[in-house]
Amino acid sequence: MEEELRTSGYDTARLNDGRKMVLITGHRRENFGEGFISICRAIKTLSERFPNVDFIYPMHLNPNVRRPIHEVFGENLSDLGNLFFIEPLEYLSFVYLMEKSTLVLTDSGGIQEEAPGLGKPVLVMRDTTERPEALEAGTVKLVGTDYDKIVGGVSALFTDTAAYDRMSKSVNPYGDGKACERIVKYVQYSM
């Protein structure tokens, strides 16, 4: 997995000396256009505000996602300091990267379930979610595509330890990650 990440444009060894990392995903149709422009501007501001944090964005292949990235960051996306725009990853490599992250910034539905299982706070770049139980549990927070809410939400999680702990240690409404262990015990005792 580390080799796939290195060849895709991000070396997780950068995190060995205490650097933090934000994993970013975006692909939702409702964010096309100005929504993605606002997201990209917020990411740019955050990368400048937090130079010791790496911002990793595996870019969706849809041109409506890539166009705003190039509009804000230019055509050459290599050598942007602590910003890494990489190609999409295979699932296991993506999960590995999610596990290494400090927090996740996404408009994806599935990641709202997966990242909290790894203890990662999730800021959702949507105005609504079909996962209200995650909001109620405190594992995710809606920030929409609003520049100020994205910058403020990420900044708060990096500067307010109590806020970070509340989200990262909230009880995941989708399970505690011990289902396989329980199934094995059940099957062993059933035989």
pLDDT digits (tens, 9 = 90+) for 48-70: 999 999 999 999 999 999 999 99
C-alpha to C-alpha distance for 154 and 174, rounded to whole angstroms: 23
Bridge partner residues of 56 (DSSP): 23, 84
C-alpha to C-alpha distance for 14 and 25, rounded to whole angstroms: 20
Percent of the chain with pLDDT strictly greater than 90: 73
- Would you state the pLDDT for residue 178? 76
Bridge partner residues of 21 (DSSP): 54
26: helix, coil or strand? coil
Long-range contacts, stretch 27-30, CB < 8 angstroms, 24+ apart: 27/60, 27/62, 27/65, 27/107, 27/108, 28/107, 28/108, 28/125, 28/126, 29/64, 30/126
Ranges under pLDDT 70 in the chain: 1-8, 177
pTM over 0.85, yes/no: yes
- Would you state the pLDDT for residue 84? 95
- Would you state the pLDDT for residue 1? 59
